[in-house]
């Protein structure tokens, strides 16, 4: 357990994103709070699918990082990117593509680029080195 936590603390931002994906997906499925108000406009099955995809993304990312399994982490990142692209397209379809979607699209694009960069890092088998000062 100590080794798993030791691996996760080396990459705190990705760990936090993965945990937030799981928490927000679970909270939305349980109808706890207003997690994603636009999802109310989607057909019920689409909202459920997107929330399950968020939970799966976060879980795979955490498991991949914790167990040092790059392909598992990579699949979580791919699910995350797919989820963001799906959300953007669905929201645009139901709310029509207007100027407000520029900001949402820019946010999603930033996360997708970060995910792609991480996937490249995993495929290159790059390592994160902790430097003691």
**pTM, to two decimals:** 0.83
pLDDT digits (tens, 9 = 90+) for 53-108: 999 999 999 999 998 888 999 999 999 999 999 888 887 887 777 777 778 788 88
Helix axes 44-67, 12-29, angle to 10 degrees: 150
High-pLDDT (> 90) share of the chain, %: 38
pLDDT digits (tens, 9 = 90+) for 112-129: 999 999 899 889 887 666
| Cα separations in angstroms, 79 against 48, 86, 127 | 15, 10, 23
CA–CA separation, 18 and 30 (whole Å): 19
Which sequence spans correspond to the domains of the chain? 2-123
- Residue 75 CA to residue 9 CA, distance in Å, equals 21
pLDDT of residue 131: 65
């Amino acid at each position: 357990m100590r080794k798993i936590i030791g691996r996760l603390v080396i990459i705190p931002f990705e760990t936090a994103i993965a945990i937030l994906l799981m928490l927000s997906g679970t909270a939305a499925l349980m109808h706890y709070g207003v997690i994603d108000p636009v999802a109310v406009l989607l057909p019920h099955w689409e909202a459920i699918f997107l929330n399950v995809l968020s939970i799966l993304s976060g879980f795979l990312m955490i498991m991949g990082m914790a167990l040092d399994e790059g392909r598992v982490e990579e699949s979580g990142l791919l699910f995350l990117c797919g989820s963001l692209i799906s959300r953007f397209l669905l929201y645009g379809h139901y709310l029509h593509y207007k100027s407000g979607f520029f900001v949402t699209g820019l946010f999603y694009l930033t996360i997708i680029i970060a995910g792609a960069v991480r996937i490249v890092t995993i495929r290159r088998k790059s390592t994160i080195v902790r430097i003691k000062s």
